[in-house]
Amino acid sequence: MANSEQGIIQSCQNGNLEDFSQLYDKYIKKIYNFVYFRTHHKETAEDLTSLAFTKTLEKINSFNYKKGTFSSWLYRIARNTVIDHYRTQKMETNIDDIWDLGSNDDLPRDIETKEKLKKVQEYLNKLQPEQRDLIIMRVWDGLSYKEISEITKKSEAGLKMMFSRAMTKLRKDQALALILLLLLFKT
């Protein structure tokens, strides 16, 4: 798939921007989930995901495989889009207001899920922001250390050490079980 992905990117760089839809289709769900877990609000996640793909399309000519993978580059753009969103947002939001329940299909299950996610968020908030981001990218987003290294511009060894220390801290708080529960709710 890497060769065909590279071919699609080269086609886009040659001006065939309609080929970008193939990249969009491949990554939309992953990037949306990545953004949603950082915003916890459906409409905001949709807007920021759309913005991240727009930025990606606008900057497609600057992508270079020699500097890393396309997926890492796309995740970095999405991550920076979320960071920019919070930097420009001047108001403080109550955590209870940002957990989006979505539809009323299964309200009791959604309420239970919301409460579990809130508890996980409390434990994750005890970590330093870099540790929290690393755990989210590693556990929730399922990214490899290599991908996270390309996104954050930190060494794989340093990330492994940071992850180990963060997990040790969470184990002390007995939150590891909650993080694993979070994996059950991954869409």
Find the radius of gyration of the CA atoms of the chain: 18
Nearest Cα neighbor of 138 from 3, 37, 18 is 37
* pLDDT band at residue 99 under the 50/70/90 scheme: very low
Question: For the residues of 75-95, what is the DSSP string, one character each?
Answer: HHHHHHHHHHHHHH--S---H
Domains defined along the chain, listed by start: 1-100 (1.10.1740.10), 106-187 (1.10.10.10)
Q: Specify the pLDDT at position 41.
A: 86
Residue 47 or residue 110, greater confidence: 47
Residue 74 or residue 131, greater confidence: 74
Q: Specify the pLDDT at position 94.
A: 46
